[in-house]
Amino acid sequence: MKKKIANWGNYPVMESDELSFRFKDQVKRIIGGKKNFIPRGNGRCYGDASLADTTISTLKYNRIIEFNTETGVFECESGLTLDKILDVIVPKGWFLPVTPGTKFITVGGAVGSDVHGKNHHSEGSFSNHIIEMKVLTADGNEITCSKTQNPDLFAATCGGMGLTGLVTTVKFQLKKIETSYIRQKQVKAKNLDEILKLFSEYSHYTYSMAWIDCLTRGENFGRSILTVGEHAKLDELPEKFKKNPLAVHGKKKITFPFNLPSWVLNSFTVKAFNFLYYGKNFKKEINNIVPYEPFFYPLDAILHWNRGYGKKGFVQYQFVLPLTAKEGLVEILNRISEKKMGSFLVVLKVFGKQDDLISFPSEGYTLAMDFPVRKGLFEFLDELDQIVLKYNGRLYMSKDARMKPEMLEKGYPRLEEFKAIVKKYNPDFKFRSVQSDRLALTKNN
């Protein structure tokens, strides 16, 4: 039965046949059938990466297979979401090795997008912590792969947007924690130069990211708040937290009840928001101990916050530029403030070294911002694409709903190699999405 589905940006929306499975024999039967499809987890990528006429939902394939509380080795089925994992591992003194800004993604999605978090510069992306995983490929075989076993399949599956096959199970290494709290430091920066300096000054912190105001011009251009953090040690906790140092947080949620009309977001309201957000930290520097939940997942507290962008939805634009391309950052931020296309939360982060086949992160500055879908937006983003390319940058496929194939080709130097591996494991393009068709990844040529 066809259902209307969309990913987190609510753009595009399409009719899709959603098939689900609980057991391996069931998914093998689906893959053995005649249809083309793309695996789909919790739909938290932003654009069209997990959309297709037929999708295979992994959400019911969500069991924990192994959790060694001594070594922190964890194995689960791919449809398990990170929030469920945290519920189990945090009380035992373990944490996710890498987590994006939402815990409502599946492990399969974490692999397909090779997600990164605030610790990318220190600990790499999700794939860096995978011990091994199993991928069900188009011929119905389940293949175990890792950095050393079937490394081609492993490389093309991490960040490969589900085009090599369906990830069934993933075994990865968790991170030991003494408490579920974060020792957080927030530092205000007056402008772009200062925030970039702060990033290198605080690069020894495990976690770091900055919110940046992209509408203010002049000498406060690029004013920001840098947030860095470490998992708090037991003796750093205030007395009141010591009673239950491994508490699981974030059970209270509110829901954004309806779509806001799209005119609500305009350059005035965004400016006002930024003014308040920047102004809320009176002091230059704040140090405190906070639960992991607001540190990692500030927006998860508001379920369906994407409705704030209205019915037409939004696209998120995330690029990375090499460290040498600071002018590129300036140029892009300038274009955004000129066009008054700013978004509430623009996130800036410095990636560490990574040089994988198709994973998005590579050393440099990454900026992520939301743009409500409106007239002229796509033309504007095409212009930004040209600047990103000029400075040898690239876009993140998990956020993308609109880039052109050339943009992908130029941004990912090893794309041909990736395509060849996809062709090997998915020769008839049984696994294909709206995005892979749009980006000419699943086309015979």
Partner 1 sequence: MASVLILGAASDMAIALADVYAAKGYDVMLAARNCNRLSNLASDLKIKYNVNTVLAEFDALKFESHKEFFESLHPKPDITICVFGYLGDQEKGMEDWKEAENIIHTNYTGAVSILNIVAAHYAKEGKGSIAGISSVAGERGRQSNYLYGSAKAGFTAYLSGLRNRMTQHNVHVLTVLPGFVYTSMTEHLQLPPLLTAHPEDVAKSVYKAIAKRKNVIYVKWFWRWIMLIIKLIPEFVFKKMKL
Considering only the stretches 19-27, 203-211, 341-349, 354-362, report the one whose residues sit in contact with partner 1 under the rule CB under 8 A.
Answer: 19-27
CB of 65 to partner 1, least distance (A): 5
Site membership for partner 1, residue 66 (CB under 8 A): yes
Site membership for partner 1, residue 22 (CB under 8 A): yes
> Phi then psi for 377, rounded to 5 degrees?
-65, -45
The smaller minimum CB distance to partner 1, of residues 19 and 330, is found at 19
The smaller minimum CB distance to partner 1, of residues 25 and 416, is found at 25
Considering only the stretches 56-64, 197-205, 270-278, 291-299, report the one whose residues sit in contact with partner 1 under the rule CB under 8 A.
Answer: 56-64
- The only residue of 77, 83, 114, 400 in contact with partner 1, by rule CB under 8 A: 77
Beta bridge partners of 5: 14
Residue among 105, 102, 98, 120 at smallest CA distance from 49: 105
Total site size for partner 1, rule CB under 8 A: 14
Footprint of partner 1 on 80-119 (CB under 8 A):
88
Site membership for partner 1, residue 35 (CB under 8 A): no
Site membership for partner 1, residue 70 (CB under 8 A): no
Residue among 100, 118, 157 at smallest CA distance from 134: 157
Site membership for partner 1, residue 301 (CB under 8 A): no
Considering only the stretches 58-66, 201-209, 358-366, 414-422, report the one whose residues sit in contact with partner 1 under the rule CB under 8 A.
Answer: 58-66
Site membership for partner 1, residue 254 (CB under 8 A): no
CB of 351 to partner 1, least distance (A): 34
The smaller minimum CB distance to partner 1, of residues 67 and 202, is found at 67
- The only residue of 67, 202, 273, 344 in contact with partner 1, by rule CB under 8 A: 67
The smaller minimum CB distance to partner 1, of residues 77 and 213, is found at 77
Contacts of 170 (CB under 8 A, 6+ apart): 75, 76, 78, 107, 108, 111, 130, 133, 134
Considering only the stretches 57-65, 109-117, 337-345, 426-434, report the one whose residues sit in contact with partner 1 under the rule CB under 8 A.
Answer: 57-65
The smaller minimum CB distance to partner 1, of residues 26 and 36, is found at 26
CB of 59 to partner 1, least distance (A): 11
Interstrand relation of 175-176 and 94-95 (parallel, antiparallel or unpaired): antiparallel
Site membership for partner 1, residue 64 (CB under 8 A): yes
Considering only the stretches 22-30, 105-113, 127-135, 208-216, report the one whose residues sit in contact with partner 1 under the rule CB under 8 A.
Answer: 22-30
CA–chain centroid gap for 371, Å, is 16
- Strand order, beta sheet including 2-6: 2-6, 13-20, 54-57, 38-40
The smaller minimum CB distance to partner 1, of residues 6 and 377, is found at 6
Instruction: Say if residue 232 is exposed, middle or buried (CB neighbours under 10 Å; 0-12, 13-18, 19+).
Output: buried
Site membership for partner 1, residue 176 (CB under 8 A): no
Site membership for partner 1, residue 1 (CB under 8 A): yes
Site membership for partner 1, residue 15 (CB under 8 A): no
CB of 276 to partner 1, least distance (A): 38
CB of 244 to partner 1, least distance (A): 18
The smaller minimum CB distance to partner 1, of residues 88 and 389, is found at 88
- The only residue of 13, 14, 20, 191 in contact with partner 1, by rule CB under 8 A: 20
Site membership for partner 1, residue 272 (CB under 8 A): no
The smaller minimum CB distance to partner 1, of residues 140 and 151, is found at 140
Angle, CA 369 vertex, CA 441 and CA 433 arms, to 5°: 20
Which residues are at the interface with partner 1 (CB under 8 A)?
A: 1, 20, 22-25, 60, 63-67, 77, 88
